[in-house]
Chains A and B, each alone.
Chain A
Amino acid sequence: MSKYTEDDLREELKTKEYEYGFYTDIESDTFPNGLNEDIVRAISQKKEEPEWMTEWRLEAFRVWQAMEEPEWANVNYEKPDFQGISYYSAPNSKPKYDSIDEVDPELLATFDKLGISLDEQKKLAGVAMDVVVDSVSVATTFKKTLAEQGIIFMSISEAIKEHPELVKKYIGTVVPQKDNFYAALNSAVFSDGSFCYIPKGVRCPMELSTYFRINQAGTGQFERTLVIADEGSYVSYLEGCTAPSRDENQLHAAVVELIALDDAEIKYSTVQNWFPGNAEGKGGVYNFVTKRGLCENNAKISWTQVETGSAVTWKYPSCVLKGDNSVGEFYSIAVTNNYQQADTGTKMIHLGNNTKSTIISKGISAGKSQNSYRGLVQVNSRAENARNFSQCDSLLMGNECGAHTFPYIEAKNKSAKIEHEATTSKIGEDQIFYCNQRGIDTEKAIALIVNGFSKEVLNKLPMEFAVEAQKLLEISLEGSVG
């Protein structure tokens, strides 16, 4: 093999197309484009929701109408036309399946292509899946095992019907309807999502995971996830997404709410690989997500994310450390290539005493992409002994991309200990030279370095997901990860 240089890598990155960009032809039940109170009512009706939920949605819609799209993020994109989107689409073959054999074979083929055969997952990984294709969940597995422990894991629309008291009590408590423009929009029109409740003292025996896919032309996807870990419980929740390749911008505005009651722990991992647009920056998903968790006393919430897709990402998984001794963690790898833009980071709000937070963020930018870290660490005046450690490292590949850091640190208590550090660099010639000297070719060397750079975060992912994350890094930076 001739010498593999960084230029070759750059060339490869440029020409690498989205591998998973395919489109499944399933008949869908789609609403006309546009959004008004009738559409909101219709969505609610379609989902056979109770009156209070309809009202809740309408309230959000009214707030949303008065709001403006936020402009502060370090991203440029063509504003979506909110009246040009259809707000509801559900696969047509609608009856619930009792077993996997009943699932539309074309759908199963889709999953095969993605390498997530349900059967295999069932047997090998021990992962229960609540599969979402175009907003409505069509298959739920391992429900029985979970039910034995009292764990509720179902789509949120089912939960609204079956456990209205839980949904009513917690929905919108962490991310209120009027929180921000996209959260309000989501609250008004969310089509489906997952609901999870872990009862007191239960340790969820398996990783819970959901795959989201956007699968219908011109359909925005508005997921709503609500995870409640009751006192002393533990759950690890995994979320991953891929989307088909297409020329028109798609909007994804999800809301995720996590509630960790006293002594509970939630681990929330995401691998995000929406279609990033082609090499010219055309198409690609707009990913505007609001994710937030609330920690009561001694609770812990840990966010881990691998962000490789989407044309525009706007995402700040946050922790409100309300209870004493609560812990918040954020581990992130964000990879941008071609014309991708990512503005991502976290917020750690320290309210209780002896609260701790850790932020590790790794940004890798290549091509003509822009990668920003934006974070907030806030220590309230009553939060004694708060502790924060933040580290944001950026790796630049090529001189047409950008890496930016916008950390906001606000401390109002003298006992707070906050450390923040950030570095930006490229892959060092000396590092590559060192590897070459020891017989490791440049391609391997780059792989080693990038891997080492993101290792701290990759290590935090659950085993099953770490494999997938590796795979996604591979797609985004093919040739550099071994």
Chain B
Amino acid sequence: MDLKEKLVSSFLAFENSVDVDTYAHDVRSNAIKIFEEKGFPSKKEEAWKYTSLNSILKEDYSVFPKQENALEYPQVKKYFIHDIDTYKIIFIDGKYSSHLSQTTHDGIDVCLMSAALSKPKYQLIIENYFNKAAEKDSLSALNTAFSQEGAYIHIPKNKVVEKPIQIIHFSTGNESATMLQPRNLIVVDENSHVQIIERHQSLTDNPVLTNSVTEIFANKRAIVDYYKIQNDKETASLIDNTFIKQKRESLVSVHTFAFGGKLTRNNLNFYQNGERIDSTLKGITIIGNKQHVDHNTLVHHIEPNCESHQDYKGIFGDRSTGVFNGKVVVEKEAQKTNAFQANNNILVSDKAAINTKPQLEIFADDVKCSHGCTIGQLDESAMFYMRSRGIPEKEARALLMFAFSNNVLESVKIPELKQRITKIIANKLGVNIGFDL
């Protein structure tokens, strides 16, 4: 039985196990139909031209983890940003772990999707926002069909959340292979501000496939900073679908740090429904071995006077492959749009490959849109300069690569997170220097 059939047939069992008389029930039933019709995407689809899911779909995933696994904090401390106080929503194999988490209902809601889907007091929000941003593509639909658990964050008007929120999904995978489908909903109301850090971490050598959907709604003048850390084991694959709807004058930034995993696909979609919106999409990708990272971004400019900034840096070693497919659409009404897109790549190995396709579709005339994309190597003269001053080759190379990716790192607003990322980069480049020279 292939994975698609298995998922479709498990749907009934799943749907019976959760509450049937809810709004979510209809949404799920529709979604499974879409998935059944479309199936998993193949390389024949333009959006999946450079990424094949075949190698990860052949595993025999268990769709519902059978047992609950407990983890002790010291075991997993290193995956947390632990040197600052944060709210935490932690999942182990798709199940909420209350003793690792720290949630709140004090003025803001930082809690669970399962609670939000079932309790009447959240009903209004769920009906207004749940599945309202997600596209009807097959993978998002699949997630919607099985949507049950994940993070639910609702920040009401005029609140500045004083500490960041961490969402971490662990998979312990005692079973052979696990498939996880977390579903996050984040609603930020007028004038509010929140910072969120998301991480998916596998603790097992068994294959893990995560198909995640996150919907973010930024209302008037809201500020949302979202950081994704992807530094997973080489048996873990991630398909991350993020949909962001912005209202006027809101600011949303998403930073994606893709350092690992077997196959990582980031579908990041921004929809600007209002004037004077600013969207920022930044990313650093440093991978090696046979890893594959695919960034697929969309910024849809619908109304006038908005801006978007994209900056993706990639360093590819060994047999790794990178894909960047960035699309900017400027509608007829979206005059005075400023849209910038940059994608810079360094290939470190002859076996590595990069496919990039920065795309502009513009229907308005009074706009400033540009994209730039480069593929190149480290500057030999800069290498020579450093080596002539006694910096060993490896360190010199690392310094240059760090400098290359630095302007993405600079816009990270949480200092502790920045330090952590710096450390991961040092690790990735195999050097032991702090880069805070």
Contact = CB atoms under 8 A, between A and B. Distances in A.
A422 B365 contact: no
A400 B347 CA distance: 41
Given A406-B357, A417-B376, A422-B358, A399 B365 contact: yes
Contact of A421 (B351, B359, B371): B371
Contact of B375 (A406, A407, A411): A411
A413 B355 contact: no
B363 A402 contact: yes
Interface string A396-407: 111111111111
A423 to B, nearest CB: 4
A424 B367 contact: yes
A405 B376 contact: no
A76 interface: no
Interface residues of A, number: 35
A94 B366 CA distance: 55
Contact of B365 (A379, A397, A406, A410): A397
A399 B369 CA distance: 15
Contact of A411 (B347, B358, B365, B369): B347
Contact of B361 (A402, A421, A423): A402
A85 B102 CA distance: 73
Contacts, number: 117
Given A72-B46, A414-B350, A416-B347, A407 B357 contact: yes
Nearest to A417: B376
Interface in B340-357: 345, 347-357
A409 B371 contact: no
B354 A411 contact: yes
A422 B371 contact: yes
B377 interface: yes
Nearest to B322: A411
Nearest to A421: B372
A163 interface: no
Contact of B350 (A413, A418, A424): A413
Contact of B360 (A72, A398, A405, A419): A405
Contacts of A412: 350, 352-353
Nearest to A390: B373
A381 interface: yes
Contacts of B362: 394, 396, 402-404, 424
Interface string A372-406: 00000001010000000000001011111111111
Nearest to B345: A411
Contacts of B374: 417-420
Given A398-B365, A403-B360, A381 B355 contact: no
Nearest to A426: B365
Nearest to B335: A399
Contacts of B367: 396, 424-426
Contacts of A414: 347-350, 352, 377
Contacts of B203: none
A422 B360 contact: yes
B298 interface: no
A404 B369 CA distance: 11
Contact of A409 (B348, B356, B360, B365): B356
A396 B368 CA distance: 11
Most chain A CB neighbours (cut-off 10 Å) among B348, B362, B363, B372: B362
B42 interface: no
A422 to B, nearest CB: 5
Given A409-B356, A411-B347, A411-B354, A418 B375 contact: yes
Contacts of B359: 404-407
Contacts of B377: 414-415, 417
B396 interface: no
A408 interface: yes
Most A CB within 10 A of own CB, among B332, B348, B375: B375
B364 A399 contact: yes
A405 B358 CA distance: 8
Contacts of B357: 406-409
Nearest to A415: B377
A424 B356 CA distance: 19
Most buried by B among A72, A404, A416, A424: A424
B365 A401 contact: yes
Nearest to A422: B371
Contacts of A410: 353-356
Nearest to A378: B355
B370 A423 contact: yes
Nearest to A396: B365
A399 B332 contact: yes
A285 B231 CA distance: 54
A411 B351 CA distance: 10
A399 B365 CA distance: 5
A401 B351 CA distance: 42
Nearest to B355: A410
B365 A381 contact: no
A213 B128 CA distance: 61
Contacts of A425: 367-369
A412 B364 CA distance: 36
A359 to B, nearest CB: 13
Contacts of A404: 359-362
B370 A424 contact: yes
A413 B346 CA distance: 10
Given A72-B46, A399-B366, A381 B372 contact: no
Scoring B350, B360, B376, B377 by chain A CB atoms within 10 A of each residue's CB, the highest score goes to: B360
Contacts of B360: 394, 403-405, 422, 424
B82 to A, nearest CB: 38
Interface in B367-395: 367-377
A435 B377 CA distance: 42
B344 to A, nearest CB: 10
A422 B372 CA distance: 6
Contacts of A405: 358-360, 371
Nearest to B46: A72
A409 B375 contact: yes
Contacts of B368: 423-425
B364 A420 contact: no
A400 B355 contact: no
Contacts of B335: 399
A417 B371 contact: no
Nearest to A398: B365
A403 B369 CA distance: 11
Contacts of B349: 414
Contacts of A423: 368-370
Nearest to B369: A424
B366 A426 contact: yes
Contacts of B348: 414
B334 to A, nearest CB: 10
Contacts of A411: 345, 347, 353-355, 375
B379 to A, nearest CB: 11
Contacts of B345: 411
Interface in B93-144: none
Contacts of B370: 421-424
Nearest to A388: B375
Given A400-B332, A410-B355, A420 B365 contact: no
A76 to B, nearest CB: 14
Nearest to B374: A419
Contacts of A402: 361-363
A180 to B, nearest CB: 17
Nearest to B337: A424
22 contacts: A394-B362, A396-B367, A399-B364, A399-B365, A400-B332, A402-B363, A405-B358, A405-B359, A407-B358, A408-B355, A408-B357, A409-B354, A411-B345, A414-B348, A414-B377, A416-B347, A418-B373, A419-B373, A420-B358, A420-B371, A424-B360, A424-B370
Given A394-B362, A405-B360, 16 more contacts: A396-B364, A396-B367, A400-B332, A402-B361, A404-B359, A405-B358, A406-B359, A409-B357, A411-B353, A412-B352, A417-B377, A418-B374, A420-B373, A422-B360, A424-B360, A424-B370
The 4 A-B pairs at the shortest CB distance, nearest first, are namely A396-B365, A414-B347, A418-B375, A412-B353
